[in-house]
Amino acid sequence: MHMSIWALLLLQVLSVLASTSQAAFRAPAYDDGLFTPMENLSALSETDFSVLGHPAFPNYNVRIKKSAFCDETVSAYTGYIDIEARHIFFYFFESRNDPDTDDVIFWTNGGPGCSSSLGLFMELGPCRISDGNSTSFHPESWNTNANIFFVDQPVGVGFSYAEYGESVSTTEEGAKDIAAFVFVFFEHFSKFKGRAFHMTGESYGGRYVPLFAAEVYDQNARLAAEGYTPINLKSVMIGNGMTDLLHQRTSSFEIQCTNASFAPTLSIAECVQMRQMIPRCEQRLKESCIDIFDAVDCAAAGAYCDTYFSEPFRRSERNPYDISLPCSPEERAENLCYPVTAHIRAYLSRPSVREALGVDPSVRANFTSCDATVGTAFREHMDIFHHATQDYLGALLERGVRVLIYVGTYDWSCNWVGNERWTLEMQWSGREAFNKEALKPWAVGGDLAGNGRAGLVRSAKGLTFLTVDSAGHMVPYDKPKEALDMVQRWISGEGF
């Protein structure tokens, strides 16, 4: 959900430069008999996994079963994406409205290294967990009018696992796995073929989702040439995303020292010093991380900026995901400042729940919401700086894939000011038209008079930037009605 201290990264990157690891993979276990389209999910068993494969991806299998839990009004399924010796866990819920015609949404949480069970059980899923022992119906779930996936990715996150210590440490690696899984799923369950598909994520999902969607789009051309049905990728949606670190880091000045979001949280002296450091920090990050990437210099620049833009906030003992709330360092480390995460961990550690979901017995008994090993691997490889992530979004827009960037105004870690700045500066053919549009109020159902303002929105040429007032990093958790209205209007093409 958040970026770690840059000072540690400088030492870690030196170690990565000195050595590279090679994962040991099994030989492909593909069998032509696995490719037997099931046509419909109703054919799946509640007790045993069905194993699916595809000749286009001989190293990939999908295990899937019915899992009656969470929402009694719809069919639910769980399983694994099997990539040789790596196994990625997922949940799938059918739409409460019409699963045979409604769109399909893919959801991932961020971290890097955080389980999408947080999105499922805390934010936008069909049920919520309040006490660690049971679930309760969530009326504002995003499966109200859509079929939806929640994926624990990359390997090592949540219930995902590797047999011999294999790992994924860059988004580029993870994108290939996700794109293959998406195709295998749609190819097997023909009722979803051609259905509108939306790829969605939060936090580090601002890095994941653009690359995942680009891989799906680029994969389509090859698969179509081979006679397969392309994935009907319609849009990407990113909530409080970490897409452009340069703007996110320096824009923390506005969040901590002005009324752009909440009342100033730092002293005048700290804010004056921070303002003076903005141009110097931006210059160092641009020269070492963006213009010409140098791992050592980039890590040093990040550590330098962190001293002025992150450390003061950490000392303030505010919640980095909602600056209106206090949160001690101990609470942040234990439960990300939200006690509900402890209940989710307790629920998913219960043997009966794991058995019902079909969790592999090799997965450790105590569930972990965010895996530190995965997060460290991504930071050591400086994944956030591999490429300008927003360029992937610009390229998707050029190809007719719509993009929604939504941000809760109380978030510090991936704040709305930084997200707005990169959307205005992104290079693409619609930039001029987008920048000419002023931010305007939006309300639930479009009813500004009756419902009052929900936030601000700017939209043109397929790109929409939207804020949600008084929401933090996890918009669907803080503002479930506004979040559901937003996603329903987005996938329907209604607009704001």
Catalytic residues: 203, 411, 473
Task: Say which DSSP state 439 is in.
Answer: P
CA distance 414 to 276: 21
Alpha-helical regions (H) of 310-445? 311-315, 329-335, 340-348, 351-357, 372-380, 389-398, 416-425, 431-436
* Alpha carbon distance 203, 352 (integer Å): 31
Between CA 299 and CA 306 the distance in angstroms is: 10
Helix (H, G, I), strand (E, B) or coil at 405: strand
Which residues neighbour 469 within 8 Å (Cβ) at sequence distance 6 or greater? 409, 453, 454, 455
Residue 315 is which amino acid?
A: R
> Cα(451)–Cα(441) distance, rounded to whole angstroms?
12
Q: Specify the 3-state DSSP secondary structure of 164.
A: coil
Neighbours of 74 (CB within 10 A): 17
Give, as one character, the DSSP assignment of residue 371: -
Contact between 205 and 194 under an 8 Å Cβ cutoff? The reply is no
Secondary structure (H, E, C), 26-63: CCCCCCHHHCCCCCCHHHCCCCCCEEEECCCCCCEEEE
d(CA 32, CA 55): 7
Our CA angle for 233, 68, 202, nearest 5°, is 40
Indicate the residue type of 312. P
Q: What are the angstrom distances between the C-alpha of 398 and each of 28, 195, 240? A: 37, 21, 23
Q: Measure the CA–CA gap between 49 and 398, rounded to whole angstroms.
A: 40
Report the alpha-carbon distance of residue 96 to residue 134 in Å, rounded. 21
Residue 101, SS3 per DSSP: coil
**Length of the chain, please?**
496
